[in-house]
């Protein structure tokens, strides 16, 4: 049996995708819409205080295309907090004009492929900062879930750990070419959701995201073992911009 790699796990993460019912939103009165927008802005700004206390992080995004209108990426130390935040939003006025189109539950994960045997790096401040990241206020975000294939001779989970480490090293070399252009947060979702990982990429410009995902397709770990779910792409929805975004 192949040896599993040890993982370090940080904040729990919910990607919560909603579709807006613009028709009923347009039929609502100006006062109703204004009250709903203000309530939404308060919901977001209340959570910012949690971020200032370094007890979690969250951002909202406008999703481009048919799959969703908005997405909230919410990270907290406990699953209970995620569940409470989701339900609190469900009870808002704005939520009554939305339906959930997709969600993804995971936990920030760093696998120990790159760490030296016998060296416990988990408590290092820089590792803790990656396990409990403050989400970058960068303009663009791409999310997609993925698996590592388990099929016949292309079974990632029956590869010896050394072989997997070598493939992950090649993977990281490709990723590092985009340092400064792209920040990635990989979240593990074994037992939490339908895929094995969530991939969330942040960038100041859309194109490096396409370039990175395309180039990674040629790395053996993605070429032979990568299986991907739906892709979601959007740009950041700040509290200030919410009025314009929802304005009719
Ligand atoms: C943006 C750049 C970038 C960089 C620098 C990077 C580096 C690294 C390192 C160093 C490591 C291992 C240690 C750790 O730190 O966890 C990983 C780990 C992982 N990655 Fe990665 N990855 C990137 C980016 C990046 C992308 C774009 C994808 C999606 C792949 C694609 O084809 O669409 C991805 C996937 C993963 C996954 C699923 C894992 C866990 C695999 C496992 O089996 O455990 N990743 N990744």
> Given this model, what pLDDT does residue 97 score?
98
Q: Give me the domain span that covers residue 168.
A: 7-246
For residue 152, with 0-12 CB atoms within 10 Å meaning exposed, 13-18 middle and 19 or more buried, which class applies?
exposed
Instruction: Supply the CATH number for residue 224's domain.
Output: 3.30.70.1030
What pLDDT does 119 receive?
Answer: 79
Residue 111's φ and ψ, nearest 5 degrees, are -90, 150
- Active-site annotation holds for 144: yes
Token couple for 72: 């909230």
- 130 annotated as a binding-site residue: yes
State the pLDDT at residue 215: 98
1 lies in a domain? no
Between the CA of 173 and the centroid of ligand 1 the distance, in Å, is: 10
Is the C-beta atom of 212 inside 6 A of ligand 1? Answer: yes
| Distance from C-alpha of 105 to C-alpha of 246, rounded to nearest angstrom | 27
**Distance in angstroms (rounded) separating the CA atoms of residues 208 and 122:** 30
Helices (H), 123-202: 125-131, 161-176
Write down the pLDDT at residue 16.
Answer: 98
Low-confidence ranges of the chain (pLDDT < 50): none
pLDDT score recorded for residue 114? 80
Q: Provide the number of structural domains found in the chain.
A: 1
- What local confidence, expressed as pLDDT, does residue 120 receive? 83
Q: Does residue 2 form part of some domain? A: no
Q: Is the CB of 226 under 6 A from ligand 1?
A: yes
Tell me phi and psi for residue 28, to 5 degrees.
-70, 155
Domain-embedded: residue 103: yes
Asked if residue 230 belongs to a domain, the reply is yes
Q: pTM for the complete prediction?
A: 0.97
Residue 33 annotated as lining a ligand binding site:
no
- Nearest CA residue ID for atom 36, ligand 1: 186
Q: Which atom of ligand 1 is nearest to the CA of 196?
A: 38
CA 75 to CA 134: how far, in whole Å?
9
**Contact at 8 Å (CB) between 119 and 212?**
no
Q: Of 194, 24, 218, 180, nearest to 103 (Cα)?
A: 194
Which neighbouring-strand residues pair with 184? 201
User: In angstroms, how far is the first alpha carbon of the chain from the final one?
Assistant: 59
């Amino acid at each position: 049996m192949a040896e599993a790699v040890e993982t370090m796990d940080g904040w729990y993460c919910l990607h919560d995708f909603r579709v807006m019912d613009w028709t009923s939103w347009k039929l609502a009165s100006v006062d109703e819409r204004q009250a709903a927008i203000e309530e939404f802005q308060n919901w977001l700004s209340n959570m910012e205080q949690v971020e200032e206390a370094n007890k979690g992080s969250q951002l909202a995004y406008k999703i481009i295309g048919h799959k969703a209108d908005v997405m909230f990426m919410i990270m907290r130390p406990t699953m209970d907090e995620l569940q409470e935040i989701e339900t609190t939003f469900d009870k808002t006025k704005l939520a009554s004009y939305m339906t959930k189109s997709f969600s993804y539950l995971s936990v920030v994960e760093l696998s120990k492929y790159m760490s030296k045997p016998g060296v416990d790096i988990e408590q290092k401040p820089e590792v803790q900062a990656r396990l409990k990241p403050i989400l970058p206020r960068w303009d663009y975000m791409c999310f997609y879930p993925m698996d590592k294939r388990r099929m016949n001779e292309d079974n990632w989970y029956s590869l010896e750990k050394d072989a997997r480490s070598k493939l992950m090293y090649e993977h990281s070399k490709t990723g590092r070419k985009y340092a400064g252009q792209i920040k990635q947060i990989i979240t593990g979702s074994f037992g939490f959701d339908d895929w094995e990982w969530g991939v969330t990429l942040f960038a100041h410009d859309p194109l490096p995201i396409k370039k990175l995902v395309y180039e990674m397709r040629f790395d053996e770990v993605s070429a032979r073992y990568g299986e991907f779910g739906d892709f979601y792409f959007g740009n950041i929805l700040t509290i200030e911009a919410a009025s314009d975004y929802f304005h009719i």
